[in-house]
């Protein structure tokens, strides 16, 4: 059955204003992203559509178009960013071909750019971060939701959220001063991994806590009523119920760890060509290389750095897709059970 959602007339003006505001933001963003006024052209059809809709049959259709426009902006901006980046990266990709991703020599004076060690560094440090962070994050989340007394719950949540808003450069400097110098870890994959692990802990904790909180009380009570201990209740009801969400939380943390720039640049060691499992070796990651080398880079070098950014972009998207797939599959399974 179709509901008539058309509201009274006074609703229409705020809706149109909101629509135009969204549209304006979209035009500005697109123009900025395209690096010129040409991007604006793409918006004329939608503008026309919006005007017609708003004038035509009322607030409902105006809202519909506004929503479509808002959704379109996100895709368009993403698309334009990707296009511009790929365009700027094309000189080095044309020159190096696939070797950009598979070779490991990075030499600006020779204009030879192989990104494999940096891809390795990004994945390796992010993996260290996740391995260190996940047990702690899940532990904290379970503590807050299942174990902590009520009076401790609120301050704990508040503190964890506070950790999430500390600027990354603060973590980086702390890493240099305390981990590198005081504890003598030097600048290495491990130092970077530890810092990244600390940085993603609050994110994973927050998300995990919210996911765990959605476990129906009836499930938990049923488990307890059957004589489960608290630990058995958690493994029998809470964890299976929140598996998909927890994987999603970890993947979001992983994404953040891979993209982290300043903290990694400060502690990873900036060594070239390192593809090794030795956690104490200095290395480099894609965002750290971009941050370190951009300032004085010449044209081909800049193109290579942008190609690194594109690679990072693609890998992050891939990680997110994998996360989504895992979440969906586990949800289907738990629904089927």
Partner 1 sequence: MNRTLVVGALAAVSLLGCKKKDDASATGALAATLDASGATFQKAFQEVAIEEFTATHKQVTINYGAGGSGKGRQDFADKIVDFACTDAPYKPEDAGKVKGGAFLYIPNVLGAITLSYNLDSDKLQLSPDVIAKIFQREITRWNDPAIAADNPGVTLPDLAIVVAHRSDGSGTTENFTRYLSLAAPTTWKLKSGSTVEWSADTQAGNGNGGVAQIVKSTKGAIGYVDLSDAKASGLKYAAVKNQAGKYIAPSVEATTAAGEGIEVQPDLLFSALNAKGDAAYPITAQSWCLVYEKQTDKAKGEAVKAYFKYMLTDGQKLLPEIDFAPLPKSIQDKALTQLEKVQVPAS
Please give the residue ranges that form the binding site for partner 1 (CB under 8 A). 105-110, 181, 186-187, 265-266, 269-274, 281-282, 292-298
Q: How far is the CB of 218 from partner 1 (least distance, A)?
A: 56
Packing angle of the helix pair 12-34, 44-56 (nearest 10 deg): 180
Q: How far is the CB of 110 from partner 1 (least distance, A)?
A: 7
Q: How far is the CB of 102 from partner 1 (least distance, A)?
A: 18
**For residues 46 and 86, what is the distance between their CA atoms, to the nearest angstrom?**
26
Nearer of residues 121 and 253 to partner 1, judged by Cβ: 121
Q: How far is the CB of 281 from partner 1 (least distance, A)?
A: 7
**For residues 278 and 310, what is the distance between their CA atoms, to the nearest angstrom?**
27
- Computed on alpha carbons and rounded to an integer, the radius of gyration of the chain in Å comes to 25
**For residues 47 and 52, what is the distance between their CA atoms, to the nearest angstrom?**
9
Q: How far is the CB of 213 from partner 1 (least distance, A)?
A: 42
**For residues 126 and 139, what is the distance between their CA atoms, to the nearest angstrom?**
20
DSSP H or E run through 34: helix 12-34
**For residues 16 and 60, what is the distance between their CA atoms, to the nearest angstrom?**
11
DSSP 8-state class, residue 283: B
Nearer of residues 127 and 297 to partner 1, judged by Cβ: 297
Q: How far is the CB of 297 from partner 1 (least distance, A)?
A: 6
CA 188 remoteness from chain centre: 23
- Give the residues across from 284 on adjacent strands: none
Nearer of residues 9 and 110 to partner 1, judged by Cβ: 110
Nearer of residues 51 and 272 to partner 1, judged by Cβ: 272
DSSP 8-state class, residue 144: I
Nearer of residues 130 and 290 to partner 1, judged by Cβ: 290
Q: How far is the CB of 263 from partner 1 (least distance, A)?
A: 13
**For residues 56 and 88, what is the distance between their CA atoms, to the nearest angstrom?**
43
Nearer of residues 90 and 292 to partner 1, judged by Cβ: 292
Q: Do residues 210 and 157 touch, judged by C-beta distance below 8 A? A: no
Nearer of residues 231 and 294 to partner 1, judged by Cβ: 294
Q: Do residues 64 and 50 touch, judged by C-beta distance below 8 A? A: no
């Amino acid at each position: 059955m179709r509901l008539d959602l058309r509201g009274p007339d006074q609703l229409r003006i705020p809706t149109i204003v909101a629509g135009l505001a969204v549209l304006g933001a979209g035009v500005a963003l697109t123009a900025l992203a395209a690096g010129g006024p040409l991007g604006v052209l793409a918006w004329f059809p939608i503008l026309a559509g919006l005007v017609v809709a708003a004038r035509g049959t009322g607030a409902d259709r105006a809202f519909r178009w506004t929503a479509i426009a808002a959704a379109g902006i996100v895709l368009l901006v993403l698309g334009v960013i990707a296009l511009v980046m790929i365009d700027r990266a094309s000189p080095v990709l044309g020159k190096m071909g696939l070797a950009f991703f598979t070779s490991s020599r990075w030499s600006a004076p020779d204009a030879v750019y192989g990104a494999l060690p940096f891809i390795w560094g990004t994945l390796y440090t992010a993996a260290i971060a996740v391995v260190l962070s996940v047990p702690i994050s899940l532990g904290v989340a379970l503590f807050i939701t299942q174990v902590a007394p009520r009076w401790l719950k609120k301050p704990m949540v508040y503190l964890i959220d506070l950790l999430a808003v500390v600027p990354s450069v603060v973590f980086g400097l702390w890493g240099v001063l305390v981990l590198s110098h005081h504890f003598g870890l030097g600048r290495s994959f491990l130092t970077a991994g530890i810092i990244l692990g600390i940085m993603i802990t609050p994110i994973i904790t927050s998300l995990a806590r919210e996911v765990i909180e959605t476990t129906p009380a009836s499930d938990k009570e049923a488990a307890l009523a059957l004589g489960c201990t608290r630990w058995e209740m958690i493994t029998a009801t809470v964890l299976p119920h929140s598996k998909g969400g927890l994987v999603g939380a970890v993947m979001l943390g992983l994404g953040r760890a891979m993209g982290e720039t300043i903290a990694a640049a400060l502690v990873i060691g900036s060594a070239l060509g390192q593809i090794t499992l030795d956690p104490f070796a200095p290395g480099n990651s894609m965002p750290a290389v971009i941050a370190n080398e951009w300032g004085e880079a010449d044209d081909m070098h800049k193109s290579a750095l942008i190609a690194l950014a594109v690679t990072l972009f693609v890998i992050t998207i891939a990680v997110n897709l994998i996360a989504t797939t895992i979440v969906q599959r586990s949800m289907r399974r738990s629904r089927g059970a």
